[in-house]
A and B are shown apart, each in its own frame.
Chain A
Amino acid sequence: MTAAPLLDVQNLEKSYSIGRSGLFSKRSLKVLHDVSFSVAPGEVLGLVGESGSGKSTIGRAILRLIDSQSDVMRFGGQDLNSISPARMRILRKEMQIIFQDPYASLDPRKTIRAVLSEALDAHGLHQGAARGPRLIELVTLVGLDPSFLDRRPHEFSGGQRQRIGIARALAVEPSFIVCDEAVSALDVSIQAQVLNLLADLRAKTGVSLLFISHDLSVVRYISDRVMVLYLGRVMEVGPADRVHFSPKHPYTAALVSAEPSLHRENRRIRLTGEIPSPLALPSGCIFRSRCPYAQPACAETVPPLQTVGDQHQSACLRTDIL
């Protein structure tokens, strides 16, 4: 990438303390290991992985909604690791989040007008007479009727609520949005509408997205690049179509082949065993316990991300198989 990245994250780690093992030593559960990535202005980075892969944790860590440790975390030239709370509050205008559950993400007591006004008030935008037209503009932008403004969330369907959540994120005109499973809870026909809405917004406003999902086809469609996570480690990262159609990591390959599809021949790579507990991760490559191609060498070193093509990297020792 030639342009300076909008978001640059190096060696992001996150652990939770889970009680004590001895009198003084705290036990901790590491859910992110050494995750590095960047997002260019206007780019959509897809984040895929199964439950427990840490994909939502990454989204919340970037937004500083949870604490994390990293060597570098820069957004729009500002260092998020050393930023003051006051500066961070101002910077929040630039980075927003859309949640998965359209039912939990809206305060049941607030009208849509109040929900959107809160966003504008937080940054002193469109005060006074400019407020009304801006609210109408926002609901129209996400394909809702302006008469909905004075209704409360329980009067809406899941798809409509998700649109309201998107309008709230867009209200402050951010340059970066974390979409945390933003379409996963929606029915197929509504999901397509919301995906189209996001694609339109991206074309119109040039917003960058971190698109978190477990649905590979959705991620492939919406993203420029895709990053595949397994138990908090990056397995593969590369251009969306390349990762999807010619994966270089056995885990990505298994994930793509496990996805039920109407159109593809099922050449299924069957994984054996269960996802290991984060408390007892295998040595070396964490995927080796389920990998059909694992060798003794896989137990010894943690495979680094190696370049396997243009902008395409994979963390697998066995470059000979895929």
Chain B
Amino acid sequence: MMSARNFPKRMFLPSVLLAALIIIPFSAPLITAEDPIKIAVRYRLAAPDLQHWLGRDEFGRDRLARVLHGGQVSLTVAFVATTIACIIGTFFGLIGAYFRGPSEFITSRLSDIVLCFPPILLALLVVTLFGPGAGTLVAVLSVLYFPTFARITFSEALRVTSLDFVEASRALGTPSRRIVLGTILPNIAGPLSVQYSLTAAAAITIESGLSFLGLGVVPPAPSWGQMIRGARQFMNQDPLGIMIPCAALVLTIYAINFFCDRLRDTLDPKGASGSGMDEVSKPLALADAPAIKDPDVVAVINKLRLETARFGTSAAVIEDVSLTLRANQCTALVGESGSGKSLSSLALMGLLPGAIRQASGTLQLRRKTGEVVDLGFLDARTLEDIRGNDIAMIFQEPMTSLNPIHKISDQMIEAIQAHRPMSKSDARAHAVQLLKRVGMNDAEQRIDSYPDQMSGGMRQRVMIGMALSCEPRLLIADEPTTALDVTIQAEIIQLLQTLRQDQGTGLSLLFISHNLGVVADIADRVAVMYSGQIVEEGPADQILRDPHHPYTRALIESMPSSHEGLHSAGGDRLPAISGTPPLPSARPSGCTFRDRCPIAVHACAEIRPALYPSADGGRAVRCLRAPEAPAGLMNHQTEAA
């Protein structure tokens, strides 16, 4: 929670507004000395004057005094009732969700019963039975609103209870009471505070509504509903009379909502992430891209630089990334999380997140027609046409990319028809054809099943089939096997291999993965990324068998499968890289890997290494100490030694 010391700035305005709305009615005696119930029929509906700022009502009572004193009643009733409802509801919800069993039954059935009554009818019933008055109102409103709190608490607490950190608390032997109040309750405070604001606002309106019907606060005691009721009859002669209590109602409800919205953001430990609006990335026009001459080349990324466009300062997330993707070739982009491998591929799809913009470099693609386009220049319409048609993509978790409420057949037919004008039955036949191609047995029947009726491996096959529906020239596979079991992973790799070989047009596969073993299985060329740069690139067998960059070497070395002789019981340790990759905003000078590099020298801090090509041009490495680095650069090396 926030302490008074670091009171968040964004809470200031709503707090002041809410405090004012609560304090002003309760300091009514300081503002006006008028009695809210003193009748002076002589002055009925008198216009505002210096003594009576808001004029007088139909009985000549001072309106200012009435709206202030009425506010006291309305606010007290609403807040007391909401607070009682909140406490009782939260209590039932928490108990039900944490202990389950009979307490869950009681909570949900009790809520169901109360929720079955239309609120106004229930209120009318109780008020008729027990007579009107503020006390009855509080009781009615609390009973009315506690089920919503119980429901929300229950479902939210159920969600939180299933999280690992609650399980960890249980495993630690923390008493249940402490887990419920100390761990679960703070984590559901956000939705609860929103519900509180909605309920308080609703309670004020219901109170006003009941008072308006004459079932709430007993006249002549003032309340906002009472005032509306009285003023209604004279609306034509005296519109001010009805506007005053209405304005008071609107203002109060707005202040409460405003306050609770901000409170929810403040309670979120990560803090609200800015305005929530992304800056629109604008393509950068760079005309000096070299033309692709080789007809085998499907796409070229040239000196791509991507920057974050948030908070005024721009940090480069991708620096100087160049890649050539050829037909019939599989290029693997390898790296750890945050290295920028997925961003590079999203740039190719024209799907960069709004907060990232392309600062320089070019992305060129040869379309199926043979035309070479620069993806940075294209309008959204053309990009849409390219996606799916020329470039297709498959993702890590096929379940999130498939719509769970539609059959596979409908989703595939829609995808096919989006790019190819054909009848539904033709599209369906084509879809069955595709599923057979990706190795699905009895595709004719299984095409009509829903995604959740399939295993993870089968869903990934469906995704691959859909991606192939328009015979793209470039297939981007972003960690396509990471979520799958090893035996299934082996099958999918096998499938991708076959598809690449038998696609007529010559498919280029860009395979993104953190798993070097998988990469060794499938890739022809490998590009290793670290901290937004490609640090080593070349033929897969060369790079993986004889890495020249210390990071590639360390990555291979830290895999347990590289050390079949090592065993923890024998006291063996794995050769690990110390430290963690730097954040894009805090990359070291010179080489970005030097902080963690076992062979770094002084020069590494001063020179930002470029990607130095080998003599035959087959591979390249971004390291001053690699055999490919030009000799002149290493003058500093002797110092270090």
Chain A residues packing against B (C-beta within 8 Å): 44, 50-51, 60, 63, 65, 88-90, 92-93, 95-97, 99-101, 104-110, 118-119, 121-123, 152, 154, 157-160, 165, 168, 172, 187-193, 195-196, 198-200, 202-203, 214-218, 220-224, 240-241, 244-245, 254-255, 258-263, 266, 268, 270-271, 274-275
- B544 adjacent to A107 (CB under 8 Å): no
In the bound complex, residues from chain B placing their C-beta under 8 Å from that of A218 are 560
- A-B interface pairs (CB < 8 A), number: 187
Quick one: given A109-B186, A221-B568, are A165 and B559 in contact (CB under 8 Å)?
A: no
Contact yes or no, A92 B173, CB < 8 A: yes
CA distance A118 to B179 in the complex (A): 10
Residues of chain A within 8 A of B186, CB atoms compared: 107, 109
For residue B127, give the distance in angstroms from its CB to the closest CB of chain A.
Answer: 41
Cβ of B174 and Cβ of A118 under 8 Å apart? yes
Between-chain CB contacts (< 8 Å), 5 pairs:
A96-B171, A196-B573, A244-B564, A260-B486, A262-B556
Q: Determine whether B406 belongs to the interface, using a CB cutoff of 8 Å to chain A.
A: no
Complex formed: what's the CA distance from A270 to B521 in Å? 15
Residue of A nearest to B596 (CB): A189
Q: Most A CB atoms within 10 A — which of B168, B183, B490, B569? A: B168
Q: Are B487 and A271 touching (Cβ within 8 A)?
A: yes
Establish whether residues A258 and B560, one from each chain, have CB atoms under 8 Å apart when the complex forms.
Answer: no
Which of A65, A88, A188, A254 lies at the interface centre, i.e. has the most chain B CB atoms within 10 A of its CB? Answer: A188
Interface centre among B515, B518, B520, B573 (most CB of A within 10 A): B573
9 nearest CB pairs, A to B: A260-B517, A92-B173, A192-B576, A192-B558, A217-B561, A50-B485, A187-B336, A105-B164, A199-B568
Nearest opposing residue in chain B for A209, CB measure: B568
Closest Cβ–Cβ distance, residue A196 to chain B (whole Å): 5
Give the secondary structure class of B's interface: helix
Chain B residue with the shortest CB-CB distance to A92: B173
Contact yes or no, A105 B168, CB < 8 A: yes
**Chain B residues, CB < 8 A from A118:** 169, 172, 174, 178, 182
Query: Which residues of chain B are within 8 angstroms of A220 by Cβ–Cβ distance?
Result: 560, 564, 567
Candidate in B455, B563, B569 with the most chain A CB atoms within 10 angstroms = B569
Structural contact, B521 and A266, CB atoms closer than 8 A: yes
Determine the distance from Cα of A120 to Cα of B575 in the docked complex, in whole angstroms.
33
Interface members, chain B 162-214 (any A CB < 8 Å): 163-165, 167-175, 178, 182-183, 186-187
B520 surroundings in chain A (CB, below 8 A): 260-262
Contacts of B563 in A (CB 8 A): 221
Q: Which residues of A contact B170 (CB under 8 A)?
A: 65
Identify 15 new A-B residue pairs, CB closer than 8 A, beyond the known A50-B488, A195-B576.
A50-B485, A51-B456, A51-B485, A93-B173, A99-B164, A105-B165, A105-B168, A109-B187, A118-B174, A158-B337, A221-B566, A221-B574, A259-B486, A260-B517, A275-B455
* A96, B172: Cα distance in complex, Å: 7
Distance (Å) between the CB of B492 and the closest chain A CB? 11
Say whether B164 contacts A261, CB under 8 Å: no
Q: How would residues 540 to 580 of chain B score, 1 for a CB under 8 Å from any chain A CB and 0 otherwise?
A: 00001000000000111011111110111101111111101
Contact assessment for A123 and B173 in the assembled complex, using a CB-CB cutoff below 8 Å: yes
A101 to B358, CA, bound (A): 33
Q: How far is the CB of A232 from chain B (nearest CB, A)?
A: 15
In which size bucket is the chain B interface?
A: 35 or more
Residue of A nearest to B578 (CB): A193
Could you tell me if A202 and B487 are in contact, using CB atoms closer than 8 angstroms? no
- Contact between B558 and A258, CB atoms less than 8 A apart: no
In the assembled complex, which residues on chain A have CB atoms less than 8 Å from the CB atom of B493? 260
Query: What's the nearest-Cβ distance from chain B to residue A207, in Å?
Result: 12
Do the beta carbons of A274 and B458 come within 8 Å of each other?
Answer: yes
The answer to whether B168 touches A99, judged by C-beta atoms less than 8 angstroms apart, is: yes
Please, which residue of chain B has its CB at the minimum distance from the CB of A119? B172
Contact A195 B168 (CB under 8 A): no
Is A195 a contact of B173 with CB atoms below 8 Å?
no
Q: Is B276 an interface residue (CB 8 A)?
A: no
| Other-chain residue from B518, B544, B555 in contact with A188 (beta carbon distance below 8 A) | B555
Interface pair A97/B568, CB less than 8 Å apart = no
The reply to whether B167 and A274 form a contact with Cβ atoms under 8 Å apart is no
Q: Count chain A CB atoms within 10 A of each CB in B183, B520, B558 and give the residue with the most.
A: B558
Q: Could you say which of B165, B175, B558 has the most chain A C-beta atoms within 10 Å of its C-beta? A: B165
Docked CA distance A108–B567 (Å): 36
Q: Chain A residues near B566 (CB, 8 Å)?
A: 221
**Cα–Cα, bound, A108→B336 (Å):** 24
With beta carbons under 8 angstroms apart, the residue of B489, B514, B575 that contacts A192 is: B575
- The smallest beta-carbon distance between B483 and chain A, in angstroms, is 9
Min CB–CB distance B217 → chain A (angstroms): 41
Q: Which chain A residues lie closer than 8 Å to B572 at the CB level? A: 199, 221
- On whether the beta carbons of A195 and B485 are closer than 8 Å, the reply is no
Q: A123-B173, A195-B574 are in contact. Are A274 and B457 (CB under 8 A)?
A: yes
The answer to whether the Cβ of B381 comes within 8 Å of any Cβ in the partner chain is no
Name the contact of B490 in the complex, choosing from A165, A191, A268 (C-beta under 8 A).
Answer: A268
Most buried by B among A99, A123, A160, A172: A99
- Tell me the nearest residue of chain A to B1, going by C-beta: A109
**What CA separation (Å) do A254 and B566 show in the bound complex?**
23
Is B168's CB under 8 angstroms from A90's CB?
no
